A and B are shown apart, each in its own frame.
Chain A
Amino acid sequence: MEQVIRDKIRQVKKGDQSAFEDVIAFYQDKIYRHCFRMIGNAHEAEDIAQEAFIRAYINIHSFDDRRKFSTWLYRIATNVTIDHIRKRKPDYFLDDKIKGTEGLDMYSRLISNTPSPGEEAESRELQRYIHQEITRLPPKYRSIIILRYIEEFSLQEISNTMDIPLGTVKTRIHRAREALRKKLRYV
């Protein structure tokens, strides 16, 4: 797949916009998911993920073919998300009500259909709580924790993706782990 993407990027660089469609289709779930985890809101996640792809397209010429495209794309998505978090005034979370859908929160929309027995509801409650605690971390810790423990990047990959030194990645991860430990110890 890596090679297919490489070829597509080359076509995009030559100016073939339609080749970018396959690139988006291939990465859309990963990038959307990453943004969603960072921001904790489906609607915002969609806007941010879209912007990340658009920025990638516009700046495609600054992408070095010898490097991994996914790393580059994740970096853009992370930066766009962090920018967005900084700009947004009041922080709000998953359990906030969506306008016009009384009594329905984001999560009940996301995890739809299946009628849930008690156990399932409980685990969903837990998922929701964990996600909420992750989105309460400062953005720079948030992205690293998500990349490391949910998307399972190596420390080196995170360093490449975020363009920060390995030592900084480790320091941040230590702090984030401690912060989350305090929140999740009684779960």
Chain B
Amino acid sequence: MNCHDKAHRLIHTYLDGDLSKAEEKILSSHLEECEACQRHLYELKRTITLLPSTEQVSAPADFTKNVMQKLPAEKKRVTYLRMWKAHPLVVSAALLFIFMISGVFATWHQDSELVVSKQEGLMIEENTVIVPADVTVSGDVYVKNGDLRIDGSVDGNVTLINGRLIEDEPRQGEPLMASVGEVSGELKQIDQFFDWIWYQVEYVFQNVFRF
């Protein structure tokens, strides 16, 4: 019996294609004299040849479609980007339409009041916003419908809409110096209608396409 067990192990090793030369000899000499093990090997081989005869089936007709419908919603950003790539004109028109509805145009025409971001240290004289010398304003400065003079410095971005950046006249006797005080961030001037539109577009994009 023990000898059969060993032969059975060898038979499986043989079926896996792992038999060494030496083992092959042992197995074949055992098979020559043992009918039970011959029969065993025959049955195993036959089983293996029977297995693939289970018939072929294919996935149901709408399989792919059904899976696609069940996938979790894709990140918005990509959908918009793909839409933009596929239909740039449609998307541009749609954006323009959104602006019209959302009153960007109206805002532009009606609104002429001075608007300033609230920060300590900013001074306002009539229609001019001033960052006094020796003052560092922290955060982004936003001025709309007014002019801006920076004598001190701004630790952030500066956005000027529909206004001018007033540059100091160089005083006599002094060398010509950079008239604008320091701005650590970006200085952006928007004083034309289409720039304004573009600014809005960027704003919309940054928000819509954020992850």
Residues of A that sit less than 8 Å from B by CB: 14-18, 20-21, 24-25, 28-29, 31-33, 36-37, 42, 46, 49-50, 53-54, 57-58, 110-111, 123-124, 126-127, 130-131, 134, 145, 149-150, 152, 155, 170, 173-174, 177-178, 180-181, 184-185, 187
For this complex, 13 residue pairs linking A to B, each with C-beta atoms less than 8 Å apart, are A14-B78, A15-B75, A42-B57, A50-B66, A127-B55, A130-B50, A134-B51, A134-B54, A155-B16, A173-B12, A177-B44, A184-B46, A184-B50
Bound together, the chains give a CA A131 to CA B18 distance in angstroms of: 28
Which chain A residue lies CB-closest to B51? A149
Chain A residues with CB below 8 A from B63, complex form: 24, 28, 32, 46, 49-50
> What does DSSP make chain B's interface, helix, strand, loop or mixed?
helix
Q: Taking the complex as formed, is B15 at the interface, i.e. its CB lies under 8 A from any CB of chain A?
A: yes
**In the complex, what residues of B have CB within 8 A of residue A152's CB?**
52
- Select A181's contact among B43, B59, B66, B67, beta carbons within 8 Å: B43
| With A21-B64, A130-B51, A149-B52 as contacts: A32 and B59 at CB distance below 8 Å | yes
> Given A15-B74, A173-B16, A185-B43, are A21 and B68 also a contact pair (CB < 8 Å)?
yes
Q: Are A58 and B47 in contact (CB under 8 A)?
A: no
> Chain B residues with Cβ under 8 A from A170's Cβ?
12, 16, 18
In the bound complex, residues from chain B placing their C-beta under 8 Å from that of A134 are: 51, 54
The answer to whether B70 and A50 touch across the interface, beta carbons within 8 angstroms, is yes
Q: Is B82 an interface residue (CB 8 A)?
A: yes
Bound-state CA distance A185–B48 (Å) is 11
Q: Which residues of A are found within 8 Å of B50, using beta-carbon distances?
A: 126, 130, 184, 187
Please count how many residues in chain B sit with their CB below 8 Å of the partner chain's CB atoms: 35
Contact mask for chain B residues 32-67; partner A; CB cutoff 8 A; 1 contact, 0 none:
000000001001101110111111111110011011
Chain A residues with CB under 8 A of B60: 32, 42, 46
| Chain B residues whose CB sits within 8 angstroms of the CB of A178 once the complex forms | 44
In the assembled complex, B6 has its CB within 8 A of some CB on chain A: no
Q: Which residue of B47, B52, B57 contacts A180 across the interface (Cβ within 8 Å)?
A: B47
| B77, CB-defined interface residue at 8 Å | yes
* Residue positions of B touching A, CB distance < 8 A: 9, 12, 15-16, 18, 40, 43-44, 46-48, 50-60, 63-64, 66-68, 70-72, 74-75, 77-78, 82
Candidates B43, B52, B78; contact of A17 at CB < 8 Å: B78
Q: Which interface residue of B9, B67, B78 has the most chain A CB atoms within 10 A?
A: B67
Interface of chain A, helix or strand or loop or mixed? Answer: helix
In the complex, what residues of A have CB within 8 A of residue B16's CB? 155, 170, 173
Check B71–A18 contact: CB distance below 8 A: no
Q: Select from chain A the residue with minimum beta-carbon distance to B55.
A: A127
A25 CB → nearest B CB, Å = 5
Residues B51 and A54 in contact, CB atoms below 8 Å apart: no
Cβ contact within 8 Å between B57 and A36: yes
Task: Give the distance in Å from the alpha carbon of A17 to the alpha carbon of B64 in the complex.
Answer: 13
Question: Known contacts A15-B78, A32-B63, A177-B48: does B68 contact A20 (CB below 8 Å)?
Answer: yes
Considering only CB atoms, which chain A residue lies closest to B49 in the complex?
A: A149
Q: Which residues on A sit within 8 Å (CB–CB) of B64?
A: 21, 24-25, 28
Decide: B78 and A150 in contact? CB cutoff 8 A: no
- Contact between B82 and A180, CB atoms less than 8 A apart: no
Cα A170 to Cα B71 in complex, Å, equals: 37
| A127/B67 in contact, CB under 8 A | no
Complex-state Cα separation, A145 to B184, whole angstroms: 68
Given known pairs A24-B64, A155-B16, A177-B47, the reply for A33 and B53 (CB within 8 Å) is no
